[in-house]
Amino acid sequence: MDISRWVFLILIFVSFATIPIFSDSQLSSGELPDIPVKFLDFAKKSEVFDWMVEVRRRIHENPELGYEELETSKLIREELDNMGIQYKYPFANTGIVGFIGSGDPPFVGIRADMDALPMQEMVDWEHKSRNPGKMHACGHDAHIAMLLGAAKILLQHQNILKGTVALVFQPAEEGGGGAKKMIEAGALENVEAIFGLHVHPNFPLGKVSSRPGPFLAGSGFFEAVISGRGGHAAIPQHSIDPILAASNVIVSLQHLVSREADPLDSQVVTVAKFQGGGAFNVIPDSVTIGGTFRAFSKESFLQLRQRIEEVIVGQAAVQRCNATVDFLTNSKPFFPPTVNDKNLHKHFQRVAGDMLGNDHVKDMEPLMGSEDFAFYQEVIPGYFYMLGMQGETNENPASVHSPYFKINEEALPLGAALQASLAITYLLEAQPQVPSSSINGHDEL
């Protein structure tokens, strides 16, 4: 072979060897840890932070209950329009799904709930609820602002976005099962995985917490009418006392957990409603009781449901009463347990650790609260986590669902950046790797 042929081969080899594996619009796996930090720096910029605060306060001033979030939905769509983000609307009455990226697979979702609670706000501040008897007492106003903030971050960094991020704005989390209706309406079409968060007032700002596997309990509600025969309190033998029957029912229901459930399988049955009678000397015709039941596995949950009905009907019969049990599934659907995907847990730990430091990412014990995010996890891998927002003060923060609940707005950039980072790194890691032999094609020479 002559010298010119060798020179030619060397030049070809060098040119192929110096071609980068990733183009300008891609990042190597070694650069992925930089994304969360850069996203957080962007979210903390005054113009981005101030915008999120302003959006959150506008939503807080106008709280709306489940499936009634018309103005909230309108505000979200206006902000998406301002950013030039395409979306589909409506899902489940008021829900929205926006899209950032190529429009091609893979798809990953990030979700925020939109509804408020039917309670009067007791916090006296400039942006207090203007709707009497309604309040954002669970942080959903902050969740919306964070998801819109994540959208702004992703839009600013579209050059490294491979695939599509679905922005899921969901109605009616507070007992209405909005996630279930979003799924039925096709909101998760093409979505492979989904991430959700919840602010935590008793967890320090800058820290996050979750766990793999069962995280939150499945929950359901029940209401029972126990009917007897009313009469004068002085001659009870002429009556059939439903109050006595209901009292026996309540005591027997507590035995379902203490004597029928495995002590290592956490369950709860709580009777929180007891209505009957209106006079001191009159035995009423009927009594209404109601409550909630919770468990961490679907099997335990269904067993508990069955036994609740059997105990109520059976114990009422012992006292010569009749009982009917309603599980209120039309208005308050059963929430399945929230079960975090184990692979997504590892992904969350890496990304959150890169952003906040590994010492700020904690595993936590399961909670008996419930979340309709669990409906998403029944159809695709999902991951739900808690975002701390307790500041460095001596104040004991009010819990969620309290009329004194307050949001620490310093948490907004953290939630926005983390949601955006979880989504974009998921998509980057889901990309097929280019074999080195196809890049360094000199083997064919």
Residues making up the binding site: 138, 140, 174, 198, 401
The answer to whether residues 185 and 169 touch, using CB atoms and an 8 Å cutoff, is no
Q: Exposure pattern of 206-227 as b/e (b: 16+ CB <10 Å)?
A: bbbbbbbebbbbbbbbbbbbbb
State the distance between the two ends of the chain, measured CA to CA, in whole angstroms: 14
196: part of which helix (H) or strand (E)? strand 191-204
Query: In which element (H, E) is residue 253 found?
Result: helix 242-255
Show binding-site residues for Mn(2+).
138, 140, 174, 198, 401
Ranges assigned E (strand) in 141-190: 164-170
Please give the Cα distance from 443 to 440 (Å, whole number): 7
Residue type at 54 in one-letter notation:
E
Tell me which residue of 75, 72, 32, 42 sits closest to 152, measured CA to CA: 42
Around 208, how many Cα atoms within 13 Å sit in the side-chain half-sphere? 28
**49-75: b or e for each residue (b if 16 or more CB lie within 10 Å)?**
bebbbebbbbbbebbbbbbbbeebbeb
Contact between 400 and 368 (Cβ < 8 Å): no
Gap between the Cα atoms of 143 and 167, Å rounded: 12
